[in-house]
């Protein structure tokens, strides 16, 4: 059976088509600038790349265009071959601890938690509706970024604020990147030749958005993001955790609303805010090579916060077997991986410089006498969508 994974944003849609259960990738690609005057479409299959510009009025038009292309390129002979579509949904609130087959009730529940992810859930729903409309025979499955973290204990997810905020509005830590943390922790267990129940893994998902997760015996017991993806460690443009009183302080100093200050914490902070140059690690590394001290400071702040978290998780998990680096920075930046491992030397973590000289490839990067195995594990959220979809339908 062929299964499609779909990640819909407000003006974009990324997809990957798999043969299941072999997990062979048949094709992949994306749409950008859906709803604008001119959008673009990219499709890769069999070492062939197609790029087209066209107007895609909405997501349904884009999905129809995609399915027509799959047939006209001979990638599928009939749309009936596609038995399921797995949709990434950012927020599942407390309702969803696992992936689920989509029906009217599930759609309603996703709508209900949309106030917790107003930028993401409505866009994910648009993708779901587009596939239901254009591919009605296929089973549709929702895979939530928050679901993996539903195993956290109340002492971890309840904030020390008036309890009614939790009861009345669902204010608590949810955590995100769950699909990635799950994939990487499962892979780490496999690499160690152990069952997921028998390993403790700290996953460092470090991309433009970044979060760390403590996975004890296959279950998420803590993660750094919170009610929203603004919390936790500093990121490309997001501040991560700060003293909450800063919001009122800056709003008074600069005569800004709470929304305006929060937007600055989301869009103008992190690497970008501290360096004043860029949110992109590559630009910062290039600036540091030319002696830029604020670029160095931006990276040092992030490395320190990551180390603080890994050390804390290590302690309250009762030690860990694996530290895994993934996502854009985690998979590409030997500098950052070395910096973090060096800062963790008190725990007996030792990096092997030669092994660490690698990008985007599953690799053991710790030395043989390291107390913890450190791996680079490229993440693969799409395959998790396809696996859950195949299983559920």
Nearer to ligand AMP, 204 or 327 (CB): 327
Compute the least distance from the CB of residue 156 to ligand AMP, in Å. 25
Is 307 one of the binding residues for ligand AMP (CB under 6 A)?
no
Is residue 232 within 8 A of residue 225, CB to CB? The reply is yes
Tell me: does residue 272 bind ligand AMP (CB under 6 A).
no
Q: Which is nearer to ligand AMP, 333 or 366 (CB)?
A: 333
For residue 64, the minimal CB distance to ligand AMP (Å) is 29
User: Is residue 339 part of the contact set for ligand AMP (CB under 6 A)?
Assistant: no
- 135/154 Cα distance (integer angstroms): 40
Pick from 146, 211, 239, 332 the residue near ligand AMP by CB under 6 A.
332
Query: What is the DSSP annotation of 331-349?
Result: HH-HHHHHHHHHHTGGGT-
Residue 236 as a binder of ligand AMP (CB under 6 A): the answer is: yes
| Phi-psi group of 360: left, alpha or beta (phi > 0 → left; psi -120 to 50 → alpha; rest → beta) | left
Residue 333 contacts ligand AMP per CB under 6 A: yes
The Cα 209–Cα 335 span in angstroms is 18
Residue with Cβ nearer ligand AMP (280 or 321): 280
Q: Does 357 bind ligand AMP (CB under 6 A)?
A: no
User: How far is the C-alpha of 86 from the C-alpha of 15, rounded, in Å?
Assistant: 10
Where does this chain touch ligand AMP (CB under 6 A) — which range of 99-107, 113-121, 239-247, 328-336?
A: 328-336
Q: How many residues bind ligand AMP (CB under 6 A)?
A: 11
Tokens 């869009």 label which residue? 267
> Residue 251 in 3-state DSSP?
helix
Q: Which position among 113, 327, 373, 386 is part of the footprint of ligand AMP (CB under 6 A)?
A: 327
With CB under 6 A as the contact rule, the residue among 42, 81, 94, 280 that binds ligand AMP is 280
Helix axes 121-134 and 104-112, enclosed angle (nearest 10): 160
Q: How far is CA 146 from CA 32, 90, 149, 154, 190, in A?
A: 25, 7, 6, 15, 23
Which of the stretches 129-137, 170-178, 258-266, 325-333 binds ligand AMP when contact is defined by CB under 6 A?
325-333
Strand 373-376 versus strand 363-364 pairing type: antiparallel
Q: Is 145 tagged catalytic? A: yes
Binding residue for ligand AMP, selected from 194, 195, 282, 293, defined by CB under 6 A? 282
Alpha-helical (H) ranges within 120-239 are 121-134, 154-157, 163-169, 178-191
Residues 6+ apart with CB under 8 A from 216: 200, 317
Shortest Cβ distance from residue 282 to ligand AMP (Å)?
Answer: 4
- Closer residue to ligand AMP (CB): 152 or 235: 235
| Shortest spacing between CB 381 and ligand AMP, in angstroms | 11
Give the distance, in angstroms, between the CA of residue 220 and the centroid of all CA atoms in the same chain.
15
Output 146 or 326, the one with its CB closest to ligand AMP: 326
Contact 220, 213 (CB under 8 A): yes
Rule CB under 6 A: say whether 281 interacts with ligand AMP: yes
Among 328, 366, 372, 383, binds ligand AMP (CB under 6 A): 328
Q: In the bound complex, which residue of the shown chain has the CB atom lying closest to ligand AMP?
A: 328
Which sign, positive or negative, has the C-alpha torsion 109, 151, 3, 120? positive
Give backbone dihedrals phi and psi of 211, rounded to 5 degrees, phi first: -150, 160
| Catalytic option among 47, 103, 115, 145 | 145
DSSP for residue 130: H
Instruction: Show which residues are catalytic.
Output: 145
List residues binding ligand AMP (CB under 6 A): 207-208, 236, 280-282, 327-329, 332-333
């Amino acid at each position: 059976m062929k299964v499609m994974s779909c990640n819909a944003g407000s003006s974009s849609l990324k997809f990957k088509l798999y043969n299941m259960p072999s997990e062979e990738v048949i094709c992949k690609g994306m749409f950008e600038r859906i709803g604008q005057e001119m959008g673009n479409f990219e499709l890769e299959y069999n070492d062939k790349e197609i790029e087209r510009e066209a107007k895609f009025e909405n997501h349904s038009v884009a999905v129809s265009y995609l399915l027509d292309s799959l047939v006209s390129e001979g990638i599928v002979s009939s749309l009936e071959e596609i038995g399921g579509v797995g949709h990434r949904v950012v927020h599942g609130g407390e309702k969803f601890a696992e992936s689920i087959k989509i029906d009217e009730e599930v759609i309603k529940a996703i709508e209900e938690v949309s106030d917790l992810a107003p930028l993401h859930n409505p866009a994910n729903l648009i993708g779901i509706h587009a596939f239901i409309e254009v591919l009605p025979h296929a089973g549709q499955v929702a895979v939530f970024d928050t679901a993996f973290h539903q195993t956290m204990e109340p002492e971890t997810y309840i904030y020390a604020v008036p309890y009614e905020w939790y009861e009345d509005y669902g204010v608590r830590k949810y955590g995100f990147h769950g699909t990635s943390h799950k994939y990487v922790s499962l892979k780490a267990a496999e690499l160690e030749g152990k069952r997921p129940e028998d390993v403790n893994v700290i996953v460092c998902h470090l991309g433009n958005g970044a979060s760390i997760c403590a996975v004890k015996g296959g279950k998420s017991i803590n993660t750094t993001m919170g009610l929203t993806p603004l919390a936790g460690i500093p990121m490309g443009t997001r501040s991560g955790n700060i003293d909450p009183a800063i919001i009122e302080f800056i709003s008074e100093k600069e005569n800004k609303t709470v929304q305006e200050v929060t937007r600055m914490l989301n869009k103008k902070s992190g690497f970008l805010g501290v360096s004043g140059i860029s949110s992109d690690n590559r630009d910062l590394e290039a600036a540091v090579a030319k002696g830029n001290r604020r670029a160095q400071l931006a990276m040092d702040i992030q490395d320190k916060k990551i180390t603080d978290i890994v050390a804390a998780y290590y302690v309250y998990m009762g030690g860990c077997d694996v530290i895994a680096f993934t996502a854009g920075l985690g998979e590409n930046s030997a500098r950052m991986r070395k910096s973090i491992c060096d800062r963790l030397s008190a725990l007996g973590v030792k990096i092997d410089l030669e092994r660490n000289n690698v990008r985007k490839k599953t690799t053991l990067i710790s030395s043989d006498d390291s107390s913890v195995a450190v791996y680079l594990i490229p993440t693969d959220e799409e395959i998790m969508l396809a696996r859950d979809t195949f299983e559920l339908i």
